[in-house]
Amino acid sequence: SGLVTELSAEAQLKNYRRQTRHYVNDSFRTIAGFAAHGAKMHYAADEESNAVVNESNFFLVDSGGQYLGGTTDITRTFHFGSPTIKQRKDYTLVLKAVIRLTQTRFMKGSTGANLDIMARGVLWQHGIDYKCGTGHGVGICLNVHEGPQNFSQSHREVELKPGMVITNEPGIYREGEYGVRIENIMKVVEVEQNEFGIFYGFETITLAPIATNMLDVSLLGHDEINWLNQYHSRVYQALSPSLDEHDKAWLQRATQFVEL
């Protein structure tokens, strides 16, 4: 028919992954939620609910694969039309939350519960919250949700240590309207040792474009724009050598620098 539906998008993603080296299987059932379905955090489309994706609303896609060398879990949110002012604000706030947590430095001994507020607090300032954790550990060709590390207000005992990998996935879920989530996997790394102690930070290891056509750039600071542009530079440099000219041109457009 030429139409893209939630189920056809899910099937196409699986088809792409099957063509890659070392693929074993999907790491979980893809969440492909258009419009109000995106507000259901663990939505799974079926023949009855299967929605046609159009230009009127957000399309949230959370997917991942099991590979011999590791496991992936990534969420990107798309809008193929003209987002409303409200939609632009929500999307931009979620990106700000991702960046805030990504840039956080913290002392040895800190837990995910100590840092959950770094992402969640961005949304709290606008009277918004999400009823789940901000992130979870990821196994290596094992469980995509694998502890003990996480970002959650309810699990407070596990220290974050170098080498741990953990997702960063704040979101805004408006029941009956849409969902917005951006998710990267990060690795805990040591940043500095000085007379005050040992400090850790995060290295983002997920490399995929973050859609920019929904941004309200007026809500972003110079530091946040710089982070996004540097991230997209990494994405292009890492992925472009393995792409043909057609796909490389698409990636170049998807990673174009954002200006204030």
The pLDDT tens digits of the residues spanning 41-78 come to: 999 999 999 999 999 999 999 999 999 989 999 999 99
Phi, psi of 251 (to 5 degrees): -65, -35
Give the CATH class of 6-220. Answer: alpha beta
CB 59 within 8 A of CB 79: yes
Q: What is the pLDDT of residue 102?
A: 99
Q: What is the pLDDT of residue 130?
A: 96
- Residue spans of the chain under pLDDT 50: none
What are the residue boundaries of the structural domains of the chain, listed by start?
Answer: 6-220, 221-260
Q: What is the pLDDT of residue 1?
A: 56
CA 199 to chain centre: 24
Q: What is the pLDDT of residue 179?
A: 99
Q: What is the pLDDT of residue 154?
A: 78
